[in-house]
A and B are shown apart, each in its own frame.
Chain A
């Protein structure tokens, strides 16, 4: 079943040198699956995620033939209607919990606010719900964490709190923009498996944006590879290591590997034709 359908999405920024196209004609669909978007910095992967939620502010320009969520075109919604979509239907986990949590509000108040904005409930109900949600993301001593401020939390805890806050309104789609790259390797897996469990249990769609090819190939079902604002290749995550496109191959080969030591790493040779070629459709 298709949750989200994006057709011909462009994100443009006017500059003194003319218009810069950050995303150029991207189309894909998302079902109840884990869709990975990978690419280097500047490839437009984060911009794609933000454009879906219409979070790109002027002077940035977003155009698309349609971005359809359950039969509703998000491009035609007013800003007021869009606010009901954000959080309740599609929510987003950003890279660094240090910058996405409010530093002067207790964690409890922030989660309760997120919940009560979208559902009619008493404070006591919201409190119980928030405690349950914190426990679902494997936070021990949830009652203490509710009273704490974000600076008292470690990075891994902060990110789990963000996930709790984003999932509490029970959205249909979660967009995770590099959710673990600010975290330690040892904590990364824990946060990912918690996110995975919750997303699967609730039958949500997940868009997982990352620059880490290994992580994406393990964690997602399907992968879009972006280069210079276009999708250059779509493949099943399990088969990512047999990817065909020279760009994907180049990225894979430039990774140092423990099991296959080499004296020198392969350096990616960029072909201007990659950015000229039309975008591959990510439809299923």
Chain B
């Protein structure tokens, strides 16, 4: 079953002669329970696709379908119970003056869920933090711990799809391994669907079954992670990207 379909998506910023086409005619689909990667250099439009899906960018055209429902210009509550996003920088995405308890409690309240007290501690356990972190503020947490809180917040409404925008690029390699393992486990336990953006081909190769390579707003190639591993990229740009990340 297809969970997420993007058909001929265009996203632009500005108008008139200042118009920039950030995404041009992107088309791909993600199966339920699959993990799909978007790779490319900065400015290639990979994060913009995620922002268009969540409704953070309003200037788009084309068709986005999530769980069988086509999306309109506005996102409703039901949408945010289905799709949640984890942002790149855990230092910027948590409110500095809200404790972990407030961050998670408020999110649960907005999702209209009851039994908030129990759910907060369950969420913290699920992301491997435990109760002693519950009343801490973001500045009392390390980068990896903050990203765990951000993941817990995304999981609060029990979504089906997680949009991951470079979830580990601000973290050390040792912490990156912990977060990637956590994401792998969560996907297995909850049957989540991931759409993951990264500039690191090794991370995408590890996490995703299929991936799309983007350049200048266009998807130049969609391939499986196995094809990537066996150096079967056909487009010259994907080959160049692969060369650069293996180092040769």
Contacts and interface: CB of A to CB of B under 8 A. Distances in A.
Interface in A152-208: 155, 184-189
B172 A258 contact: no
A185 B174 contact: no
Contact of B205 (A218, A254, A261): A261
Contacts of B207: 256
A102 interface: no
B229 A261 contact: yes
A213 interface: yes
Interface stretch (A25-33, A56-64, A238-246, A265-273): A265-273
B167 to A, nearest CB: 13
Contact of B240 (A186, A254, A259, A263): A186
A186 B178 CA distance: 26
Interface stretch (B48-56, B58-66, B67-75, B196-204): B196-204
Interface residues of A, number: 29
A184 B181 contact: no
Interface in B204-248: 205-207, 225, 228-229, 240-241, 244-247
Instruction: Give the contact-size bracket for chain B.
Output: 20 to 34
A258 B177 contact: no
A94 to B, nearest CB: 17
Contacts of A218: 247
Given A251-B174, A254-B174, A257-B202, A267 B244 contact: no
B147 to A, nearest CB: 14
B173 interface: yes
A218 B244 CA distance: 12
Given A186-B41, A265-B177, A256 B247 contact: no
Contacts, number: 74
A264 interface: yes
Given A185-B241, A250-B174, A261 B41 contact: no
B142 to A, nearest CB: 9
Interface in B143-197: 143, 172-178, 180-181, 184
A214 interface: yes
B148 to A, nearest CB: 14
Nearest to B179: A265
Contacts of B229: 258-259, 261
A121 interface: no
A184 B205 contact: no
Interface in B70-89: none
Contact of A256 (B178, B206, B228, B246): B206
A186 B246 CA distance: 12
Interface string A54-96: 0000000000000000000000000000000000000000000
10 residue pairs, one from A and one from B, having the closest CB atoms: A256-B206, A254-B177, A265-B177, A268-B174, A40-B172, A256-B202, A184-B41, A258-B205, A186-B41, A184-B42
Interface of B: 41-42, 143, 172-178, 180-181, 184, 199-203, 205-207, 225, 228-229, 240-241, 244-247
